Structure 1
């Protein structure tokens, strides 16, 4: 497991596939989750034309003036936590990242009960007027990846010797869907003090499953534990695939057997790097508990001492919304009062 495995998941997508075929895919996913929490997926069925259109529109947006981009700044999104942030506007472990981005989520009308109740991170998206079509492409893409997310979660359920609909019926009937488009500009690898300038610093994702489309610039690195040694390995672009990784809540549910693996980005391409992470996570109000399954007889390790924030995901008690709010306020401290 010194590289991130590539897994063909078409058996999970094809409704006519046999249970044996689906179990075979699930077993490969389970091995990846136990070792490094990362894997590529091919055979996912997401339209390549849609992907290319969204990438082109995203690049067009980030090429616009700062004033144009600021017309949909996150400060205008309020509790919905949507919109644009500039380079250095997002923090990881207290340090500014060298990236700019757009935040999106499930599109909700102002009349939606969750919006009327003031539920944080719920509401309408802030779509720029230009380039025309970006908003429509984002919504179409989120719909496609929501379907893929459910299919991949059915595979993860099988890998844990659970019913295929385990996550869909217990945790993700109304999943928390958050989507980001990040642009990592080029620049020096170290600052004036000789410290690395990360596109995004070491972190784990908060929820259950991340589905990432990355361009061909490279730069994604995954923390690997092999033979008692910790090292960083590259997860380079593989054409036609998405990179998937599991988050803190699946680590918590599996008692550390499936690992929420730290990762980071260092853009060495000498040009902009485009990254589109899609976060497919539990219902906002879902209580997160350890799963009872024969596949989890031997509990995994609590990696609290190894984590950069020294926090234990296994000590957490509460809803996914509680956990997420505790994290996002540290990412954008200037906007913290909007959602907390």
Structure 2
């Protein structure tokens, strides 16, 4: 039997102040069984999505020297900007992708920016495509709104008050956005666009183009997360795994692009506030067995204590070791 990731219509969740128990139950089942789910009824404007995709293709089609005008090294502690193919590592291996790192737009007067807090600051946008700036900011605003909606549904799925996560973690979330371009890989190649990994935070909301290539590890088997028209695909991150005691497990995934064409991917990360202390939900007394032996990185999430900033810096620093040395250490 072909295993498929569930598709959930969240219209009632968006339009009824997070009170839809039916949608919450569907989210809970998907989180327990797959750690991934597609959403319809998300309300994200299709024309905005199309502008984002068109402008992103135009950006990546430029010469390398033009793209490097906004190289990540120029973004400093904000950790923003462009990296070329092979410039990002997963488990120590270069990924077959290039990309733009983006985040909440904060000017130099913001307290966290003034304090030199990593991952906070201003984005680097290409002068060659002035329309990209507003398109990205509009899309991030839509994704942030959607992230709050989904986390209300996930809270309800756990038998919690709808605002559980917002009160403790996401009143002022850390929102990070990536635009990735995956060059075509040979079908028999052992080089991955991005290797096996889990995401770091609470929730990832992904827009992907129509080429496919995303694979999800479900119950020990890899399955294809094929593009479904008019949907976004969501997955759990490590911090939701930690907070739920492993009841909602962060799911490994990877990407290979054998399509013969460049593939675009737009992951948006809706994560805890940088300074939020991560703590298990007290009412979930029966935590799940620790699966550190099965994890791609051999890490034990049940042992993690500290803030989300502690966790994410440790992870991102391994993805860009040179930038870590220059910016954090």
TM-score by length of 1: 0.94
1:242 aligns with 2:243: no
Residue 333 of structure 1 corresponds to 321
Residue 188 (structure 1) shift: 2.2
Q: Is the 8 A contact 2:206 2:234 kept in 1?
A: yes
Residue 210 of structure 1 corresponds to 204
1:59-74 correspondence to structure 2 within 5 Å: 59-74=57-72
Unaligned runs of 5+ in 2: none
Residue 301 (structure 1) shift: 2.4
In the aligned structure 1, how far is the partner of 2:110 from the partner of 2:130? 26
Residue 305 of structure 1 corresponds to 293
Q: Is the 8 A contact 2:182 2:263 kept in 1?
A: yes
In the aligned structure 2, how far is the partner of 1:74 from the partner of 1:184? 18
Residue 329 (structure 1) shift: 0.8
Residue 47 of structure 2 corresponds to 49
Name the SS of the counterpart of 2:303 in structure 1.
Answer: coil
Question: What do residues 67-92 of structure 1 show as CA deviations (whole Å, max 9, x unaligned)?
Answer: 00000000000000000000000000
Residue 16 (structure 1) shift: 6.7
Name the SS of the counterpart of 1:77 in structure 2.
Answer: helix
- Shift of the 79–232 alpha-carbon distance from structure 1 to 2, 3 Å rule, reads same
- Shift of the 16–339 alpha-carbon distance from structure 1 to 2, 3 Å rule, reads closer
In the aligned structure 1, how far is the partner of 2:86 from the partner of 2:159? 43
Name the SS of the counterpart of 1:76 in structure 2.
Answer: helix
2:119 to 114, 118, 121: 121
Residue 151 (structure 1) shift: 0.2
In the aligned structure 1, how far is the partner of 2:123 from the partner of 2:162? 32
In the aligned structure 1, how far is the partner of 2:111 from the partner of 2:296? 38
Question: What do residues 294-336 of structure 1 show as CA deviations (whole Å, max 9, x unaligned)?
Answer: xx34322211000121111111110000000000110001101
Name the SS of the counterpart of 1:201 in structure 2.
Answer: strand
Q: Is the 8 A contact 1:61 1:131 kept in 2?
A: yes
Residue 39 of structure 1 corresponds to 37
Q: Over the residues paired in the alignment, what is the CA RMSD in angstroms?
A: 1.2
Residue 310 of structure 2 corresponds to 322
Bigger mean CA deviation after superposition, 198-207 or 301-310: 301-310
Question: What do residues 219-261 of structure 1 show as CA deviations (whole Å, max 9, x unaligned)?
Answer: 0000011xxxx21000000000000000000000011000100
In the aligned structure 2, how far is the partner of 1:26 from the partner of 1:16? 12
In the aligned structure 1, how far is the partner of 2:145 from the partner of 2:169? 15
In the aligned structure 2, how far is the partner of 1:53 from the partner of 1:280? 22
Residue 77 of structure 1 corresponds to 75
In the aligned structure 2, how far is the partner of 1:36 from the partner of 1:300? 15
TM-score by length of 2: 0.97
In the aligned structure 2, how far is the partner of 1:40 from the partner of 1:143? 20
Unaligned runs of 5+ in 1: none
1:159 to 145, 157, 176: 157
Q: Is the 8 A contact 1:257 1:301 kept in 2?
A: no
Runs of 4+ in 1 over 6 A off after TM superposition: none
In the aligned structure 1, how far is the partner of 2:82 from the partner of 2:46? 25
Name the SS of the counterpart of 1:52 in structure 2.
Answer: helix
Name the SS of the counterpart of 2:302 in structure 1.
Answer: coil
1:260 aligns with 2:260: no
Name the SS of the counterpart of 2:195 in structure 1.
Answer: strand
Question: What do residues 267-313 of structure 1 show as CA deviations (whole Å, max 9, x unaligned)?
Answer: 011100000000000000000010023xx343222110001211111
In the aligned structure 2, how far is the partner of 1:16 from the partner of 1:286? 25
Q: Is the 8 A contact 2:198 2:250 kept in 1?
A: yes
In the aligned structure 2, how far is the partner of 1:26 from the partner of 1:301? 24
Residue 201 (structure 1) shift: 0.1
